[in-house]
Amino acid sequence: MCKHCGHHHCHQPHHQTVSQSAQTVTNSCQASSCCASHQDGEGSAGDDDPDRPHTSCNDTCENASSASSPSWSSVTHEWGVTGMDCPSCAGKLEKAIHATPGVESAQVLFATEKLRVALTHEAATTDTRSAIQQAAKKAGFPLVPLNQTSTTPSGWLKWRDDALLFGLMGIMLVAWGLDYWSASLSDWLFTAATVVGLAPIVLKAARLARQGSPFSIETLMSIAAIGALYLGETTEAAMVLVLFLIGERLEGYASTRARDGIQSLMALVPETVTRIDRHGSRETVAASDLEPGDRIEISAGERLPADGQLMEGAASFDQSALTGEPIPVDIDAGDTVMAGSLATDKTVQLTVTSAQGENAIDRILRLIEQAESKKAPIERFIDKFSRWYTPAMIGLAALVVVIPPLFFAASWQEWLYRGLALLLIACPCALVISTPAAITSGLATAARRGALIKGGAALETLASINAVSLDKTGTLTEGKPMVTDVRAWHGDKSALLQAATAIERGSHHPLAKSLVLYSAERGLSVPDASHIQANAGRGVQGMVEGQSVRLVALDKVAESTLNHAQYQEAQSVAERGVTVAVVLIDEQPQGMIGWRDTLRHDAREAIEQLRAMGIQPVMLTGDNPTSAAEIARELDIDYRAGLLPENKVEAVEALAEQYRIAMVGDGINDAPAMKASHVGVAMGSGTDVALETAEAALSHNRLVELPRVLQLARATQANVRQNITIALGLKGVFLVTSVLGITGLWVAVLADSGATALVTLNALRLLRDPR
C-alpha cells in the first residue's frame, strides 16, 4: 500500500532517489510537427546548471502527459522524484504541481521517477521553480536534480517505516496478555495502540484531501477505526490498523519486483569511464561528460556508458541485458556497439557516437516513458470507474447506517458497525491495481526479451491479433544478398570464384561485398585485377592475370553467347528468385554465380508458431513476383508482390476488414502500412521512421519473438480479466456478508488487503520467462 498517496499498489522504498541528471528545456515548436530534439533527448543529462535552458520541444509529442499540453512556446524543467511508491503517487504529485501558479502542464513519469513541468515564459523564474519544489516536498515527494546518486537508507531510517507496525503488534500482544488480569487496562492499551497508529494515517488523509483526493484509503481507514473506538470495539480497531500495515508491507514487497527490470536497465550505464585524449593520456571521467567523437577504453567485464564504434580489431560483447540474446555477439572494427553492452574477452577502444541522453538505454527508457502515458482502454475505464465508485460506496455505507435504525427501529450501534465494515470492503485498491499491475508486468517481461511495446493500449491490441502481414526484405529475410549458386561450365569453381572476386574486390555494391565474403570464407587467394570498370545495370569487367574477365547480368547476355544447355541451367536458377550473373573470360562463358536474399534462420519457426496460435500470416512485398513466390513457397504462406507503399496500405486495409491485423516491417515504405494496420511492429534494425511509427519493436531482430510477444499479450489480457474477477468477486462476497453482519471490521480489512495482494501476485506471474 502506498504510504504517500493512499493506494495499495506501491512498491518503492521511501528513501530511494533516482540516478539521473537534471535538465531544463525551452520549447519552440512549429505547428506542423514535433522537433526531433525532444525525441533524441537534447539538453538532457549532465548539465552543470540544472536550471539552464536548452532548445528542445515537448509540446506535440505523442507521449505528452494526460495533463494539459504546454503552449507552442514554453520552458520545461525536469527533476528526479523521490519517495514515489506507486502509479497513483504520480497523479497526486501532478495535482500538487498543477496548483502552482505559472505551471502549464505537469507530467510525472513513474517508471523512470521523473517530473517534467512546462512553465510559461513569464513564470520561468527561480521563485517558481522553488515553489514547485516546495509543493512536491509538501505532497511527500521531494525533488532532486537528475543524476543525483541513489541513497540507501541505513540505521533508524532503514527501520522507521516498519517501527509503527512492530510497535502496534507489541502493544497488542501485551494488551491481550493483560486481558486475563484487567479487562479495562487491556482496553486502554488497545485504545492507545489505535490512537498511536491512527495519528499519521489521519494526518495523511487530511493532506490528501487538501490536494483533491478526499476518498483515499487513509480516509476510509480513519473513519472505520474512529467508528470502532466509538462503538467500544477497541480490539477490532487496533486489529484493523495492524492488518492494514501488514497489507502494505506484503503488497509493497510483491510490487517491487515489477519495477526491478527498469531499475536494472538504468543501472547498466556506468557512472565513470576511461577517456583517452588526443595525446594518448588516460583519465577517468564521468559518463555524463562524454561527447560524440570522444575515445574511450573499456576493459573486459566493463559496460559501455554510451553507444560507440569499435576502433580496431574484433571483440565479443554480451548484449543480453538489452536484446535478450544470451550468446555474446562478435563485433568487427567500424561496427557500432550499444550502451550497456558488456565487453567479454579483452580491453577495447571505441569512439563515442551518441550524444548525452541519446544512447540505446536512453532510447529504451524514453519508450518506457511513452508507454506509461498510453493506457489500455480497459485501464482508462477502471480509472474512470474508481473515481465515482468510492464516493458511491461511501454513500451506500451511510445509507446502511441510517436506514435500518430510522425506518425499521434497528440498533444504531449494530448498523453503524456494519456500515463501517462495508466502508472498508468498498476500498477500490484491488480493482484499481488489477489492470496496471498486469500490464506493467507484461511490458517488463517483453522488454526483458528485447521487445519494446509502447504502452498498455498496444499490448491490449496485440492480444486480439488474428492475422499478421509481414514485409519480405529485412523482415522475413536477412535483407542482404548472399551467394547461393556457383556453377562452373569449364574448369573448377575455385578458379571461377577467384577471377570473379578479383574484379569485384573493392566495390561497395552489395552483390560484390557478398561475393568477396563468400570467397574469403573458403580461404581462396584472390589475384590482383586492373582496368576495372563498372557498367551500371549490366555488370563489371577488368583484367586478371592477362585475361579479360566480365560479370554480366543474365538478362543482359546476348543470346548467341550461351549454348542451349547453359542458358536453360541459368534460367532455371533465375526462376527460383535468384539474381544470376554470367562469368565471361576472354568473352567465353565459364560459369555463373547466383545471389539471393536468404530467409532469416528463425523465419520458418516463427510462421509455424503463428499458425499454431490460429494467426494467419501473409507476406506483402515490393519485390518482383518471382522472388516473392520462391520465399512464399519456402514458408508456405500467402503473398502479395510488386507492391508500392500505397499498395501495401490498400492490402492491409483489405485484410483489416476480415482480421485484426498487425503489420511487421523495417523500412520507410512499411510505415504507412503499419499505420493502416491495427498495430505496427518494427524490426529493430529498421529505419527510424518505421521504429517511430510502430507500436512495438523487436530490438534484437529475432522474428521468432513475434509469436512469443503475441502469446505474452494474450496472457496479459487473460491476467487482467482474472484480476478484475478476483477483485470484484471478493468484494461482492464480503460486501454481502458485511451487510448481513456475518463478517466484521478486521475481516473486511483482511479481504481488502488480501484481494490487493492476490491480484498483485497474480500479475507477477507474467514476469516468469517461459523459455
Q: Which residues belong to the active site? A: 471
Residues 296, 349 contacting (CB under 8 angstroms): yes
Q: Residues, the chain, total?
A: 771
State how far the Cα of 369 lies from the Cα of 193, in Å rounded to an integer: 42
Exposed e or buried b for every residue in 126-141, given b needs 16+ CB within 10 A? eebbebbbebbeebbb
- Give 206's strand partners: none
* Type of residue numbered 693: T
Cβ neighbors of 134 (< 8 A, separation 6 or more) are: none
Cell reading at 270: 556506468
Q: Which of 550, 544, 545, 482 is nearest to 515 (CA)?
A: 482
| CA distances from residue 13 to 1, 158, 248, 685, 764 in whole angstroms, order as listed | 12, 9, 12, 38, 19
Cβ neighbors of 268 (< 8 A, separation 6 or more) are: 303, 321, 322, 339, 340, 361
State how far the Cα of 431 lies from the Cα of 422, in Å rounded to an integer: 16
Burial class (CB in 10 A: 0-12, 13-18, 19+), 738: buried
Per DSSP, the residues of 390-449 read HHHHHHHHHHHHHHHHHHH---HHHHHHHHHHHHHHT--HHHHHHHHHHHHHHHHHHHHT
Q: Which of 95, 250, 107, 242 is nearest to 165 (CA)?
A: 242
Burial class (CB in 10 A: 0-12, 13-18, 19+), 105: buried
Q: Would you call 570 helix, strand, or coil by DSSP?
A: helix
Q: Which of 489, 481, 483, 485 is nearest to 584 (CA)?
A: 489
Cβ neighbors of 613 (< 8 A, separation 6 or more) are: 707, 710, 711
Half-sphere exposure (Cβ direction) of 756: Cα atoms closer than 13 Å: 34
Cα 138 off chain centre by: 31
- Give 543's strand partners: 530, 548
* Type of residue numbered 557: V
* Type of residue numbered 449: R
| CA distances from residue 262 to 369, 455, 755 in whole angstroms, order as listed | 11, 14, 26
Burial class (CB in 10 A: 0-12, 13-18, 19+), 402: middle
Cell reading at 143: 525533488
Per DSSP, the residues of 219-278 read HHHHHHHHHHHHTT-HHHHHHHHHHHHHHHHHHHHHHHHHHHHHHHHHTTS-SEEEEE-T
State how far the Cα of 437 lies from the Cα of 761, in Å rounded to an integer: 9
Q: Which of 466, 482, 500 is nearest to 592 (CA)?
A: 500
Residues 321, 268 contacting (CB under 8 angstroms): yes
* Type of residue numbered 475: T
Q: Would you call 627 helix, strand, or coil by DSSP?
A: helix
Q: Would you call 197 helix, strand, or coil by DSSP?
A: helix
